[in-house]
Structure formats: C-alpha cells, structure tokens
Amino acid sequence: MSSATYVEPAESEPEIALVGGDVTEGVVRVGDTVRRPVGFNAPLVHALLRHLEEVGFAGAPRFLGIDAAGREVLTFVAGEVAGRPRPGWIADEARLASVGRLVRAYDDAASGFVLPEGVRPFPGLTEQPDLPPAPPYPAELIGHMDFTPDNIVFRDGQAAALIDFDMAKPVSRVDEACNAMVYWAPLGDPVDADPLLRDVDAPRRCRILADAYGMSDTDRSRLVEVAVLRSRRSWFSMKQIAETQGGGWARMWQQGVGDQIKRREAWLERNGTAIETALTAP
C-alpha cells in the first residue's frame, strides 16, 4: 500500500495476537510494536499521541506510522494488563490511587493539545435529536474516556500507561474522573461488576480516585450529575455506533451493554447521595 509510512526493521518478527480488548479485532504484537486496524477516530488519536510524545508524557504508546497492511503501528508498552479472569489486585486501593494519578498526569499532558485543523473529533457519532446531551460543562481537553482495566498497563504495582485512545474526545476533567470511576469504583449495579468488585465500598473508592486525581471542589459536586448524563448519552451513542460500525461494537451491544448502562443509571439514582457525600466530606 502506497500510504505506508512505517519502515519495517530488516529482520521480520512473527505476529502474536493480543486478546483482552473489548472491540477491536486483529490487534497483534510484532516485536516491540503493536499493529491495530485504523479506526474512525484515528486522525485525532494519531495527532494526540504525537503531542504526548512531544511533551514527554511517558504514559502512552508512541505512534510510529502506518504499515504496509494499512494498520497503525504503536510501540508495545511492557507491563501487566488486567485481563480475564480479573487478577486479585483489581480491588486494591493502592492500585486504585495510582489510576487516579495516571489519569491526572494524562489530563495535564493532554490539556496543551490543540486539535489539528480539519480533524473532526469522534466522527463515529452523529448528533441526532434523540441523543441526550453531554454534560453542560465546557471541554477542557481531549480526554481518553475509556479507562477500562484492559486499557491500563501496570508496572511494579502501579498504573504506568494508558493504551487504546479510540474513545478520545473533547471533555471536561470531571468527565475523565467519572469515566475512571465507572470502571474502578465501579459505578454500576453490582450484578454487572466483576465478583472481585461486587462487595466493595464504591463511594469510598470514588473518594480515593478523586483525591489521587486532585479533583476540584466544583468538579466533586458535579460528579454524580455528570455520571447520570454520561450514562444516558452512552446508551444512545453505543447503540448508534453498534448500528453504524458493526464488528466489536455490535457484539458488545448484542451482549447487553445497553441494559448494563440502564442498570448503572438506576444504581446512580439510588447511590448518588452517598457518592456525593463521600466526595465532598472534609
């Protein structure tokens, strides 16, 4: 393919399938690189990864170019990703705090990134009359917005790097903190939680994340509202993306992610006060 920009090393290496992601088919490791199909958000993601490299942010793979098969080439980030079944440390509070610090470091590094002209953020989603609005707070940065345990690489027991920037889009810091809480507190009905996270004190874990991130008082008071609005919007957006993109997105929808999002919203109605109290207590 003539658009290849990545120069392969002289010695070729075998392709090893990387499993454990939610959506993307055909993620492979080749030597010290990862090859992924180019997704709809790739123009933004590639520019963002270049920015992170320029500012010296160590917690993300480097974008190396496009290979002869038309796949994006990223550096392989060494370390430990949760995988399934989840490892026992998934509920560990020190790990949780390290996630909050990594998200904060990423947000600070991303806050100087300016979207290149002509790049449309997250073009996989079309605004439609039935799409509930995003939270009414101004975008502060291009957020990662997908802090699942499988998208965080740990080293020495600490969250060290983020991978999988496909969901990146303009958001506020409270959106980022909220997304991390969805997966790590977690925010959702316990029936949908991993057994290791089913009986945890979610409000307490929200507080640990908030403190590690260094959330402002204003953002703490907005968290529950943002979580509810993001839940409502994500039910429609996931449905729309499943219909338009198919593949792994459609599979996730068929597996019931929509019902899980509805249960999260109901759970937030029941637990919102406890979360807000934990976040704002002195």
Ligand X SMILES: Nc1ncnc2c1ncn2[C@@H]1O[C@H](COP(=O)(O)OP(=O)(O)O)[C@@H](O)[C@H]1O
72 binds ligand X (CB under 6 A): no
| Selected range binding Mg ion among 19-27, 76-84, 93-101, 228-236, rule: CB under 5 A | 19-27
**Closest separation between CB of residue 197 and ligand X, Å?**
18
Residue 166's binding partner among Mg ion, ligand X, none (Cβ under 5 to 8 angstroms by kind) is ligand X
23 binds ligand X (CB under 6 A): yes
| Selected range binding ligand X among 69-77, 126-134, 193-201, 259-267, rule: CB under 6 A | 69-77
191 with 263: CB under 8 angstroms? Answer: yes
Choose which of 41, 98, 151, 231 interacts with ligand X (CB under 6 A): 151
Q: How far apart are CA 127 and CA 8, in angstroms?
A: 40
Residue nearest to ligand X (CB): 21
Q: How far apart are CA 262 and CA 256, in angstroms?
A: 10
66 with 72: CB under 8 angstroms? Answer: yes
90 binds ligand X (CB under 6 A): no
Give the residue among 234, 242, 229 at the shortest CA–CA distance from 272.
229
Which residues in 28-57 contact ligand X (CB under 6 A)?
34, 36
Give the CA radius of gyration of the chain: 19
CA–centroid distance for 74 within its chain? 17
Q: What is the DSSP letter of 115?
A: P
Residue 24's binding partner among ligand X, Mg ion, none (Cβ under 5 to 8 angstroms by kind) is ligand X
Q: Which positions touch Mg ion (CB under 5 A)?
A: 21, 150-151, 164
